[in-house]
């Protein structure tokens, strides 16, 4: 089912995944208009998209996701919304009111704008972290949408994304102002990597500071399955096509889908090493501290930060929930997305690996210069 002639809104359009989706839409669909919604859209982004724009109109909507009037204006006349904008925070460095306002209230206001402005399709970018890992570090291996799991979320990020996802799915079937019905679905990608991934860049910077040795923060047996950004973008396109198809619309509406690909299983730390070993980086053989000691150190840091919080906000570089996340086997299948959405990874593991390494290689001299200049 083609999206030809449609008008869509992409929130978080300047972000890591948003930029990739906009380019894919321009390359594969002859849409009438794509609206890039973000706090700020860089002019160089528009310039880079000019080569593949064709006859599609690119419109910039700069504003706050918590501004209902701005959202209604952005959605007016649109038929599809890809909602990717959110605050990502695994260090609990953002005040809860701020992250809740963007991730939950922003999503609710956007859903209300869609109903008022007769937008028929809404695709929400969720995260695997709405499932966990839980505080006990209970593993999931090759899980599915039907996996039963005792989900006890600690991160404000995980909690707010979970609530926003629930509100999105509950809005499926809401009556629009013109009498039509809103169709919604949510995609839960694994950890997303690829060109532009700030987490990979951060780990590379740490490795440079550590004289070419990457820190090991996860045990080798804590295997996860990261997903390439190009494949996540492709999954969003397939979701939009499926929601437009009258025969699939109600079948997939109100549901969430796990998005992974054929990236080999491995721990987060070993994955970083796979990407950076061609650039000359080594990795520590063992964790910086035994795992139990690491939890004790994190606990003490958290307590100290809590004690001084009335006077100054200090964010510890590591916390217990992050250690749990990095050291829990947590992998999932994309077979339901394949069956229901027709999602098939566009990029093989080898293609994704080469593209990511080439990007990291291009960034390495700049990172070295930046770090050495401090």
Tell me the three state secondary structure of residue 272. helix
pLDDT band with cut points at 50, 70 and 90 for residue 372:
confident
Number of domains comprising the chain: 1
In a domain, 204, yes or no: no
End-to-end CA distance of the chain: 52
Eight-class DSSP state of 130: G
Does residue 98 lie in a domain region? yes
Q: What is the pLDDT of residues 148-207, one digit of tens each?
A: 998 887 788 999 999 999 999 999 999 999 999 999 999 999 999 999 999 999 999 999
* Residue 215 pLDDT greater than 90, yes or no: yes
**Considering the domain boundaries, does residue 281 fall inside one?**
no
Q: What is the dihedral of CA 238, 241, 243, 244, to 10 degrees?
A: 180
Backbone angles phi, psi at 37, to 5 degrees: -105, 125
Average pLDDT in the 246-252 region?
90
For residue 48, being part of any structural domain is answered with yes
Q: pLDDT class for 373, splitting at 50, 70, 90? A: confident
Query: What is the average per-residue pLDDT within 23-48?
Result: 93
User: Of the candidates 189, 197, 337, which has an alpha carbon nearest to the alpha carbon of residue 263?
Assistant: 189
Q: Is residue 163 part of a domain?
A: yes
- 233 within a domain of the structure (yes/no): yes
Give CA–CA dist 8/31, Å, rounded.
Answer: 8
Strands (E), 84-194: 121-125, 140-143, 183-189, 192-193
Residue 240: left (phi > 0), alpha (psi -120 to 50), or beta? alpha
pLDDT of residue 312: 81
pLDDT tens string 86-97: 999 888 888 889
Catalytic residue, chosen from 19, 154, 159, 161, is 161
- Judge whether residue 374 has pLDDT over 80: no
Residue 124's domain comprises 7-196+227-264+331-347
In a domain, 206, yes or no: no
Give the model confidence (pLDDT) of 39-78 as tens digits: 999 888 988 998 888 899 999 999 999 999 999 999 999 9
Is position 288 within any domain?
A: no
366 is catalytic: no
pLDDT at 308 over 80: yes
State pTM to two decimals: 0.95
Instruction: Give the whole-number percent of the chain exceeding pLDDT 70.
Output: 100
Domain containing 145 — which CATH number? 3.40.50.720
Higher pLDDT, 30 or 264: 264
Under DSSP, the state recorded for 103 is I
């Amino acid at each position: 089912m083609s999206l030809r002639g449609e008008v869509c809104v992409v929130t978080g359009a300047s972000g890591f995944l948003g930029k990739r989706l906009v380019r894919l839409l321009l390359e594969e669909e002859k849409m009438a208009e794509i609206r890039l919604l973000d706090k700020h859209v860089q002019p160089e982004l528009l310039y880079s998209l000019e080569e593949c724009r064709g006859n599609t109109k690119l419109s910039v909507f700069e504003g706050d996701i918590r501004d209902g009037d701005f959202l209604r204006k952005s959605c007016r006349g649109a038929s599809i919304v890809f909602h990717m904008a959110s605050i990502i925070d695994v260090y609990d460095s953002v005040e809860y009111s701020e992250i809740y306002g963007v991730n939950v209230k922003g999503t609710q206001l956007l859903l209300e704008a869609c109903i008022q402005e007769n937008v028929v399709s809404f695709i929400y970018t969720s995260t695997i972290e709405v499932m966990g890992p839980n505080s006990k570090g209970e593993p999931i291996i090759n899980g599915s949408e039907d996996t039963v799991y005792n989900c006890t979320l600690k991160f404000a990020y995980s909690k707010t994304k979970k609530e926003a996802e629930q509100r999105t799915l509950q809005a499926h079937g809401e009556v629009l102002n013109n009498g039509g019905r809103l169709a919604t679905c949510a995609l839960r990608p694994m950890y997303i990597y690829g060109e532009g991934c700030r987490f990979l860049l951060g780990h590379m910077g740490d490795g440079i500071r550590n004289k070419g040795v990457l820190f090991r923060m996860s045990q080798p047996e804590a295997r996860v399955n990261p997903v390439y950004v190009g494949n996540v973008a492709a999954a969003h396109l397939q979701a939009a096509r499926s929601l437009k198809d009258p025969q699939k619309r109600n079948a997939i509406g109100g549901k969430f889908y796990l998005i992974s690909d054929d990236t080999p299983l491995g721990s987060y730390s070993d994955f970083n090493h796979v990407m950076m070993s061609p650039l000359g980086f080594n990795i520590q053989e063992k964790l910086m501290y035994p795992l139990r000691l690491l939890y004790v150190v994190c606990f003490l840091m958290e307590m100290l930060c809590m004690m001084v919080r009335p006077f100054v906000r200090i964010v510890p570089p590591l916390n217990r929930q992050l250690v749990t996340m990095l050291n829990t086997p947590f992998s999932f299948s994309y077979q339901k997305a394949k069956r229901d959405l027709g999602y098939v990874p566009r990029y093989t593991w080898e293609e994704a690996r080469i593209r990511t390494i080439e990007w990291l290689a291009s960034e390495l001299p700049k990172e070295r210069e930046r770090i050495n200049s401090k």
